[in-house]
Structure 1
């Protein structure tokens, strides 16, 4: 039979003959040959018959090859059935062969599979909590260790602190990140509660022993030590935060925690909070990443537990700029406000008295004028920009203002603050925000009452900031009763108002000035006239009041000295003579 269109034909005549003669069944197999090749074979057979005999033997060999393949397949199926039966008898599921063309397996493989034993699992390490590791520390052993390193390294306090850190690292080495995940604790725990971790797990005896020993180390050594601890903790927290996955060749982070050095840091900051205040600038410059902020806030909170004034100072210089800066975010504002509300001002009455006693230390104000201005602007934004954070800032603004302006009137502590705050108040008055302008105007009046040099500052800033200056003049004019009490005596005010009128005169005489400036100058000149009228009438009213008061007092005295008019028969002359005898 020939296959159409392929130039190939099939033949089975020779094979049937061989099958009949040799007893071999072809099972329907047909040999496909090429016509050209077949013709060449016929030509060769016609010549000598030699090639024909070779072709017949080749056909027979091909049939034997197929027969061998079928026998091999039958044996393979038998072996597979035997393995399945053996697996079912043993109660184990056996996987089928994925490829029938796979090399045959020996029967010994089944026996080896049955004889295989499951691998022994490694015993899991017991989970140790921070409290258990802390309880396992022997106080006697710790006391001996601290005494030994104090004697062995008497002149090397840095080595003493590092050896102590190594001791606690070994003591808490069995605590893994699964038992103490620092990043998770800071992320899911409020600030005020996180401050008790991990010290809440340490027995009081160990805590007191460590605090006494650490507080006796030199300040320079402690400053370096806390910076080193912060770097260790922050590097470890960064590694466990997942940033190491960015590099394919980086090693996985260690499962050990830094809870040992965390305990040392908390004890140092609570006992010696001034150490962190000394290193505040270094910490602020060295650790600026946002993912490091939670750990830094925790450290600031530990210092606040030891000294509330230092905690407030750290908030003013380190957290407030992040909350009110240009790159501020809701998370940063919430962190800063949460620290102030729940850590520093958790007990407002107690905190107020403590903070007022520390408003000025070594010539530095606890709340500088620039910080007060920042909180004021955050408390009174425009209506379109008002958020919940603004309400929270407004709630803490009174205590911040009181701390910034606290001090005796015209004292050495308040005079510099007044000079710093007045230009900031002028800038705030220039904005078209009613609530902000009223608060800035009140601060401006306070500056005038604290330092006479502020009047000269006002004269210099007047023409460049006519809009702001007009608001101050308007306040003094319309709120004269309150302003007069704060600005008395009025010599400096009267002198300044006259100087401002002279400046207005020069502006109004120059017709080349723009209309807005001329209009503002006219308004300011009108306020100055009204204030001068108030100042000119005040002395006569005051003198009249004083004269009447003195006259009334004298008349009442004579009335009491008169025996006819005294119903109680009080001997006033005798009383006066007794008083005179005392002198």
Structure 2
């Protein structure tokens, strides 16, 4: 029994009660006072109930009939008129303590249990004849009014509607009993609106459910599963008493009926296709019945679980959702009871609906441990389940076996690659072989015993069970494409160009329709399986490797005639459409006739190969849209880039660097298999073109951006020289030299700004402690940056202090390798040399200022200052390329002497001797400068 606070109860006792209770509490102990309050409260409650019953008996059928006859106005207001009528009838029992009654016994039929049946049946019949839309409106209005007083009562405040409470409560019970749907339609609102949530509201909500569903067990169970069961999991918000109340509802009001099991199982799926116990609620039920830690309510869940499990698993909709959660739970470590039950559920839905095998194929890798257990269970209990799996049509058996073949392809690929969880794939493969063998035997027996099956089943060759589904589709596409007449295609393309020359999007859609007609017989192409199962070396050539060259070339020439601005939108639409075959992807609008997605696939490949920039321009959308996120979409994204790369290697690298390289850094989100696929794709792009290096260095910029921007180059450096060597390090080391060349390749548009950014990150990495390899590489990159763009010295001046350790190492490297770098630094203009000299002077000023202050790391400044002095000395001496040679000096001096002597002889002959002496001094000065 749920008890309310005695002080709150005392505040709503009829007049005179509060004072009497306070007087008693002064003369007796607290416990005796509380008992006295409770006794008086119960006495008051009994009196009120008697008063309610007596008032109800006074309602004569003739009185109610007279009331009904008066209702000649608007039918929509009749329920509220009835409320006014009941207010008059029950005006003397307005102090009914219904709060306490519902808290103590919310599953009771108060107040109708105290009203004679003959009295309330007439109003209920009349209520049933009123407009349906008004019932739920009244229920919501009455609930809001009662909750207002309920909240005031909890706070000890005066209730606004206390004089109407009894009438509202009685009529609400009548409406709920007569029209249960008036409450059912409000249940979703009650689940989401805070106004109706909370521990204090629950007894009233449960009372309403008890009134509405006493004669409708299926709806009662459905409401319990959706509105009450989720609250059990939220045990921090709800007390044990209220959890007990939630369980009581299903125990006493639903399952206590002797016919409950039959009624519920037969009505497990409603007319609208919804289950009484939806998959999300069934999952909660399983978790509560098989918890990792046994709790107080576990035994009660164990008692109700068998019947509810039958209802949840009855044939109907949403079996794929049930399979999905059961497969995940089957792999749960640390709870063998839960894993065992989840495995049993998964097998139940697999044998009930073979489409669950397709769902399993999608979930196989990410639930590998659970899949191994489920396969082993199928093998061990084959005699129990084989009849269901094999007794349906051959096409269903084929579906099951195709799934086993798909599993085997995944297993073999993982075993070949030597992945971490190798033993699991080997264990799974043993079970797959056994199941495939048994299914093949069963199918052969079915065909022999039934020589005249249905038309579509008669065409099934038992040997197909041993073939991979992908080979079937490849053969189908190849067979159909070979029948395509190039001349017919040429005529069609010419017609399209003439008729729709002003509408390029319409032209490309018509081409897709044309291919759709030609390839319509392979419309059931299994996209997900193909992208998951094909090795990348084969995947990138599908489907164009199956299309005759003459057909492809004609289509390519046609695409080249279309305005380029139309094609990026086509790429996005086509890829969106193809991805609708992936689980959970939102459907997109079909712009053309729905003939074949294979056709869209074929034309998309043609567009990407013909116009690679149609992909590069939509890369930001591919990065941002949820449709393209996730490991399961990765093979398709790589396939798109591979098509673009076939036509333009630079487009392929441009795309890979921006959309795939960042995913390698997110190694927690992407598996080792996905990272392997990303690296494999670039290795394939580069190896497929013998002239890759020359092609990439010849075009380091695309769309005004570098193929490898500085931020991506930094990622490459970090991945190639990690602090801790990983599996992918050697592969990055192999591709790094070429990518480094491309990242640092000079150009007239972006090189200057890019080198500044590269210098900035390399200077930071050069000071990285604990990773000498990355520091060494970063110093080399930094030196290359400053020697190719002296403006980097200005950037260095800004970053000098905050990267002191790196600056010391970089200055020392410059001194040690001066002969290698001085030519680049000093062979350009004198202003560049002055820029370098100015930066080194600035470094010296910073050094001297800090050394004078005696800061903690002054030894680093001293070390840097030594290098700065040496560099300045070398800069002052200059280099061979910028010296004035001795010959030049003498020539200049001689020329000056001749000109000066001529002038002196003409103007002042007596000064000739003095001029000669001055000339000799100047000459020797030049000579000393020229030969240090």
TM tier, smaller:
0.5 to 0.7
Once the 2 structures are TM-superposed, how far is the Cα of residue 550 of structure 1 from its aligned partner? 11
Matched, 1:391 2:738: no
Cα 1:135–1:347, aligned 2, differ >3 Å: closer, same or farther? closer
Supply the RMSD in Å over aligned alpha carbons. 3.1
Of the three residues 193, 196, 200, the one matched with 2:538 is 193
Equivalent residues in 2 for 1:117-128, closer than 5 Å: 121-124=453-456
Q: Is contact 2:516–2:595 with CA below 8 Å preserved after alignment?
A: no
Matched, 1:444 2:789: no
Q: Is contact 1:476–1:483 with CA below 8 Å preserved after alignment?
A: yes
The whole-number CA distance in structure 1 between the counterparts of 2:756 and 2:775 is 19
Q: Is contact 2:567–2:614 with CA below 8 Å preserved after alignment?
A: yes
Of the three residues 814, 828, 835, the one matched with 1:476 is 814
Mind listing any 5+ residue stretches in structure 2 that lack a counterpart?
1-448, 460-471, 586-593, 828-832, 891-932
The whole-number CA distance in structure 2 between the counterparts of 1:135 and 1:450 is 56
Q: Is contact 1:174–1:256 with CA below 8 Å preserved after alignment?
A: no
Q: Is contact 1:445–1:486 with CA below 8 Å preserved after alignment?
A: no
Equivalent residues in 2 for 1:315-464, closer than 5 Å: 315-325=656-666, 327=669, 329-348=671-690, 350-382=691-723, 385-407=724-746, 412-432=749-769, 433-464=771-802
Once the 2 structures are TM-superposed, how far is the Cα of residue 386 of structure 1 from its aligned partner? 0.7
The whole-number CA distance in structure 2 between the counterparts of 1:542 and 1:224 is 57
Q: Is contact 1:445–1:487 with CA below 8 Å preserved after alignment?
A: no
Q: Is contact 1:304–1:344 with CA below 8 Å preserved after alignment?
A: no
The equivalent of 1:164 in structure 2 is: 511
The whole-number CA distance in structure 1 between the counterparts of 2:600 and 2:881 is 72
The equivalent of 2:622 in structure 1 is: 283
Once the 2 structures are TM-superposed, how far is the Cα of residue 262 of structure 1 from its aligned partner? 1.2
The whole-number CA distance in structure 2 between the counterparts of 1:548 and 1:395 is 52
Cα 1:198–1:363, aligned 2, differ >3 Å: closer, same or farther? closer
Of the three residues 153, 164, 168, the one matched with 2:500 is 153
Q: Is contact 2:826–2:879 with CA below 8 Å preserved after alignment?
A: no
Q: Is contact 2:763–2:778 with CA below 8 Å preserved after alignment?
A: yes
Cα 1:317–1:458, aligned 2, differ >3 Å: closer, same or farther? same
Once the 2 structures are TM-superposed, how far is the Cα of residue 419 of structure 1 from its aligned partner? 1.4
Once the 2 structures are TM-superposed, how far is the Cα of residue 314 of structure 1 from its aligned partner? 1.0
Q: Is contact 2:790–2:836 with CA below 8 Å preserved after alignment?
A: no
Matched, 1:271 2:616: no
The whole-number CA distance in structure 1 between the counterparts of 2:720 and 2:487 is 54
The equivalent of 2:479 in structure 1 is: 132
Cα 1:222–1:540, aligned 2, differ >3 Å: closer, same or farther? closer
The whole-number CA distance in structure 1 between the counterparts of 2:499 and 2:596 is 29
Once the 2 structures are TM-superposed, how far is the Cα of residue 174 of structure 1 from its aligned partner? 1.6
Query: 1:30-56 CA distances to partner (integer Å, 9 max, x unpaired)?
Result: xxxxxxxxxxxxxxxxxxxxxxxxxxx
Deviates more, 1:412-421 or 1:482-491: 482-491
3-state SS in 2 of match to 1:431: coil
The whole-number CA distance in structure 2 between the counterparts of 1:530 and 1:294 is 56
The equivalent of 1:184 in structure 2 is: 529
Q: Is contact 1:414–1:450 with CA below 8 Å preserved after alignment?
A: no
The whole-number CA distance in structure 2 between the counterparts of 1:419 and 1:268 is 37
The whole-number CA distance in structure 2 between the counterparts of 1:225 and 1:479 is 54
Once the 2 structures are TM-superposed, how far is the Cα of residue 268 of structure 1 from its aligned partner? 1.1
Deviates more, 1:202-211 or 1:213-222: 213-222
The whole-number CA distance in structure 2 between the counterparts of 1:539 and 1:209 is 62
Cα 1:481–1:548, aligned 2, differ >3 Å: closer, same or farther? farther
The equivalent of 2:363 in structure 1 is: none
3-state SS in 2 of match to 1:124: helix
Q: Is contact 2:707–2:743 with CA below 8 Å preserved after alignment?
A: yes
Larger Rg: 1
Once the 2 structures are TM-superposed, how far is the Cα of residue 500 of structure 1 from its aligned partner? 0.9
Query: 1:265-287 CA distances to partner (integer Å, 9 max, x unpaired)?
Result: 11111111121122222233222
The whole-number CA distance in structure 2 between the counterparts of 1:543 and 1:136 is 77
Q: RCO higher in 1 or 2 (8 Å CA, sep ≥ 6)?
A: 1
Deviates more, 1:118-127 or 1:256-265: 118-127
Cα 1:498–1:328, aligned 2, differ >3 Å: closer, same or farther? farther
Of the three residues 852, 855, 880, the one matched with 1:509 is 852
Cα 1:542–1:156, aligned 2, differ >3 Å: closer, same or farther? closer
TM-score (norm 1): 0.64
Query: 1:356-403 CA distances to partner (integer Å, 9 max, x unpaired)?
Result: 221124532222222222211111111xx2123111111111111111
Of the three residues 226, 229, 234, the one matched with 2:574 is 229
The whole-number CA distance in structure 1 between the counterparts of 2:502 and 2:869 is 75
The whole-number CA distance in structure 2 between the counterparts of 1:266 and 1:422 is 40
Once the 2 structures are TM-superposed, how far is the Cα of residue 120 of structure 1 from its aligned partner? 5.1
Matched, 1:262 2:605: no
3-state SS in 1 of match to 2:521: coil
Q: Is contact 1:311–1:344 with CA below 8 Å preserved after alignment?
A: no
Cα 1:389–1:157, aligned 2, differ >3 Å: closer, same or farther? same
Once the 2 structures are TM-superposed, how far is the Cα of residue 303 of structure 1 from its aligned partner? 0.6
Q: Is contact 1:129–1:175 with CA below 8 Å preserved after alignment?
A: yes
Cα 1:152–1:437, aligned 2, differ >3 Å: closer, same or farther? same
The whole-number CA distance in structure 2 between the counterparts of 1:198 and 1:406 is 36
Q: Is contact 2:523–2:597 with CA below 8 Å preserved after alignment?
A: no
Cα 1:130–1:400, aligned 2, differ >3 Å: closer, same or farther? same
Equivalent residues in 2 for 1:547-562, closer than 5 Å: 547=886
The whole-number CA distance in structure 2 between the counterparts of 1:185 and 1:257 is 16
Cα 1:447–1:389, aligned 2, differ >3 Å: closer, same or farther? same
Equivalent residues in 2 for 1:289-308, closer than 5 Å: 289-308=630-649
The equivalent of 2:838 in structure 1 is: 495
Cα 1:210–1:426, aligned 2, differ >3 Å: closer, same or farther? same
The whole-number CA distance in structure 1 between the counterparts of 2:450 and 2:678 is 57
Cα 1:425–1:328, aligned 2, differ >3 Å: closer, same or farther? farther
Once the 2 structures are TM-superposed, how far is the Cα of residue 548 of structure 1 from its aligned partner? 10
Once the 2 structures are TM-superposed, how far is the Cα of residue 305 of structure 1 from its aligned partner? 0.7
Query: 1:524-568 CA distances to partner (integer Å, 9 max, x unpaired)?
Result: 223323433444556699969x659999xxxxxxxxxxxxxxxxx
Deviates more, 1:141-150 or 1:387-396: 141-150
Q: Is contact 2:787–2:821 with CA below 8 Å preserved after alignment?
A: no
Of the three residues 495, 519, 528, the one matched with 2:859 is 519
Q: Is contact 1:501–1:525 with CA below 8 Å preserved after alignment?
A: yes
Q: Is contact 1:273–1:303 with CA below 8 Å preserved after alignment?
A: yes
The whole-number CA distance in structure 2 between the counterparts of 1:530 and 1:151 is 75
Q: Is contact 2:634–2:674 with CA below 8 Å preserved after alignment?
A: no
Q: Is contact 2:826–2:882 with CA below 8 Å preserved after alignment?
A: no
The whole-number CA distance in structure 2 between the counterparts of 1:464 and 1:189 is 51
The whole-number CA distance in structure 2 between the counterparts of 1:153 and 1:477 is 69
Once the 2 structures are TM-superposed, how far is the Cα of residue 176 of structure 1 from its aligned partner? 5.9
